[in-house]
Amino acid sequence: MSDTRFMTVGKDGTAREIAYRLRAGSAPGVVWLGGYRSDMTGTKAAALDQWAGRHGRQCLRHDYSGHGESGGAFIDGTISRWLEESLAVFDTLTDGPQILVGSSMGGWIALRMAQELQRRGDGARLRAMVLIAPAPDFTHELMLPQLSEAQKRQIEERGYLEEPSEYSDEPNIFTRALFEDGETNRVMAGLIETGCPVHILQGMRDADVPWQHAMKLCEFLPGENVTMTLVKDGDHRLSREQDIELLTRSLDALAGQDG
């Protein structure tokens, strides 16, 4: 079993303690990248760790700042900030090729990680990617077109927008900084070079990230080995037993397991 540990990311005023859980094992390992306001103890993340345990694989999970057990304020979070943390734990704690598993916003983080690894010549560190209901560019592609003029004014004047959450008693908070930073991190504006196979798992009853968004993402991955599985009755979470089985079968194939 893996216990929670902490590492510091950032310096001086930007330093924050990032919580992580690391299972030792062989490569290729798996790296979990959670969604907006999720943490590393959720159903899919735990299933990933259990899969790694059965096969003797490395498994790394972490909480972004402002999430779960990590330090830092949630309201300070941006894609760039959470990307920095994800790259830091990846660089420091993993060895050999890895499979990135990104859920919802974690799919955006995974794609940005791939771009950064390619840019610095470390593309070989990626064995594959599994994107679950991926939400790259969600601020620009999914949220901005739906905002009313009143909501846009609220973001400009108050600096943030509050919306009821389907998954929590506390509202979702989307800051102006998140929207502005999201623009600088857009990936669906040109070809995305991941340099590795990509498996996309998408529910067709996803009320948060429409399946058409995953189809559009594929248009930006023309040179990659991309496989998409549409789950006709699947929701955004894809956390049912049959959804977890689909995830682990994908991992078996990508890691070269016999099952």
Q: Is 258 a catalytic residue?
A: no
Q: Name the E strands within the chain.
A: 4-9, 16-23, 26-33, 57-62, 98-103, 126-132, 160-163, 172-175, 198-203, 226-231
CB-based contacts of 19: which residues, under 8 Å, 6+ apart?
4, 5, 6, 40, 62, 63, 68, 69, 70
3-17, 75-89, 140-154, 167-181: the lowest-pLDDT one: 167-181
Q: Are strands 226-231 and 160-163 parallel, antiparallel or unpaired?
A: unpaired
Domain range annotation of the chain: 4-255
Give the number of other Cβ atoms within 10 Å of residue 86's Cβ. 27
Q: Is the pLDDT of residue 1 over 90?
A: no
Q: Is the pLDDT of residue 248 over 80?
A: yes
Q: How far apart are CA 214 and CA 204, in angstroms?
A: 10
- 105 with 141: CB under 8 angstroms? no
**Separation CA 227–CA 130 (nearest Å):** 9
Q: State phi, psi for 147 to the nearest 5 degrees.
A: -75, 135
Catalytic residue among 55, 236, 243, 250: 236
Structure tokens at 74: 């949630």
Active-site pick, 49, 63, 181, 206: 206
Q: Please provide the average confidence, as pLDDT, over all residues in the chain.
A: 95
Our answer to whether residue 168 is catalytic in this structure is no
pLDDT greater than 80 at residue 257: no
Look up 104 and say whether it is catalytic: yes
What type of residue is 152?
Answer: K
The model's confidence at residue 165, banded by pLDDT at 50, 70 and 90, is confident
The pLDDT tens digits for 64-76 are: 999 999 999 999 9
Question: Out of 1.10.10.10, 3.40.50.300, 3.40.50.1820, 3.30.310.80, which CATH number does the structure's domain 4-255 have?
Answer: 3.40.50.1820
Of 88-92, 164-168, 242-246, least confident by mean pLDDT is 164-168
From 65, 104, 181, 208, active-site residue: 104
Tens-digit pLDDT profile for residues 186-228: 999 999 999 999 999 999 999 999 999 999 999 999 877 999 9
Using pLDDT thresholds of 50, 70 and 90, give the confidence band for residue 2. Answer: low
Q: How many CB atoms lie within 10 A of CB 139?
A: 21
Mean local confidence (pLDDT), 137-157: 96
Dihedral, 215, 217, 221, 222 alpha carbons, nearest 10? 40
CA atoms within 13 A on the CB side of 215: 6
Question: pLDDT tens, 17-69?
Answer: 999 999 999 999 999 999 999 999 999 999 999 999 999 999 999 999 999 99
CB atoms within 10 A of CB 32: 28
The C-alpha angle with vertex 133 and arms to 131 and 139, in degrees rounded to 5, equals 105
Q: Which residue has the higher pLDDT, 27 or 257?
A: 27
Looking at residue 258, its pLDDT comes to 47
Global confidence as pTM: 0.96
Q: Which two tokens stand for residue 13?
A: 């005023």
Alpha-carbon torsion (236, 238, 239, 240), positive or negative = positive
